[in-house]
Amino acid sequence: MVLLGPSVDSIRKLLARCEAYAERHGLRYNAGKSEVLVFKARKYNPTTVPKIVLGGIPLKVVNEFKYLGHVINNELRDDLDIERERRAMSIRGNMLARRFARCNTQVKLTLFRAYCQTFYTCGLWASFTQRAYNTLRVQYNNILRMLLRLPRHCSASGMFAEARTDDFYAIRRKRVASLLRRVRGSTNSMLRALDERLDCPLTKYWAELVIGRSK
């Protein structure tokens, strides 16, 4: 569960309501597994955070945490989550290359599509360095080269065209377009507000990527 608030006082009020609910229903929150993250603002970055307590225990203040598998940090940058995906993809790719080395090309491509094209939560990536982005793209290309036993410096675009499978950019566009369509079709008021804000960095990036003008 995640609580979002514009101030420490608002978070304290939300926690108080949660504790009251838990007490009425015989539940108990685990303060040891609960953390506080303060998002940095452009003009105001507090050096200290007032104590926030849950069940009488002060909560730990962190700079990043993983929620539903997605890494979020206090600067709202996506480099750490992109690195998470790169490492996971590397593990899956090495496993495929090791266990299915003797399979034919069609089997390898089927496995590649199933295990290496997920790009979990990539639709949320909107603020990152080009270095982190390119590192993931190169990793993706190299895994297919390794599976098909192609030269390391062969053409990536030619490789994906011959294999009849999506390259890195095609997958990103499809994931973003799918997420954008679901946000616009949602009945959730917060998601609709996100879509209607033209100055929102995430919405702007989505639009640029889908029409092919993004980096």
Question: Within this chain, do residues 41 and 145 fall inside the same structural domain, yes or no?
Answer: no
At residue 49, the pLDDT reads 84
Domains of the chain: total:
2
Phi, psi of 60 (to 5 degrees): -75, 135
At residue 215, the pLDDT reads 44
Question: Within this chain, do residues 58 and 97 fall inside the same structural domain, yes or no?
Answer: no
At residue 160, the pLDDT reads 96
Could you tell me the residue range of the domain that residue 40 belongs to? 8-62
Question: Within this chain, do residues 170 and 111 fall inside the same structural domain, yes or no?
Answer: yes
Phi, psi of 92 (to 5 degrees): -65, -40
168 belongs to a structural domain:
yes
d(CA 159, CA 30) in angstroms, rounded, equals 50
Question: Within this chain, do residues 35 and 129 fall inside the same structural domain, yes or no?
Answer: no
Question: Within this chain, do residues 52 and 84 fall inside the same structural domain, yes or no?
Answer: no
Question: What's the start-to-end Cα distance of the chain, in Å?
Answer: 34
106 belongs to a structural domain:
yes
SS3 call for 165: coil
What's the pTM value of the predicted model, to 2 decimals? 0.84
At residue 195, the pLDDT reads 73
Question: Within this chain, do residues 29 and 124 fall inside the same structural domain, yes or no?
Answer: no
133 belongs to a structural domain:
yes
Which single residue is written with the structure tokens 């190169």?
138
Question: Within this chain, do residues 84 and 54 fall inside the same structural domain, yes or no?
Answer: no
CA-wise closest residue to 14 among 6, 22, 5, 23: 5
At residue 126, the pLDDT reads 86
pLDDT tens across the length of the chain (215 residues):
899 998 899 999 999 999 999 999 999 999 999 999 999 887 777 778 889 999 889 999 999 999 999 999 999 899 999 999 999 999 999 999 999 999 999 999 999 999 999 898 998 898 899 999 999 999 999 999 999 999 988 999 999 999 999 999 999 888 888 888 888 888 888 888 877 776 777 777 777 776 654 44
d(CA 28, CA 15) in angstroms, rounded, equals 12
Question: Within this chain, do residues 121 and 37 fall inside the same structural domain, yes or no?
Answer: no
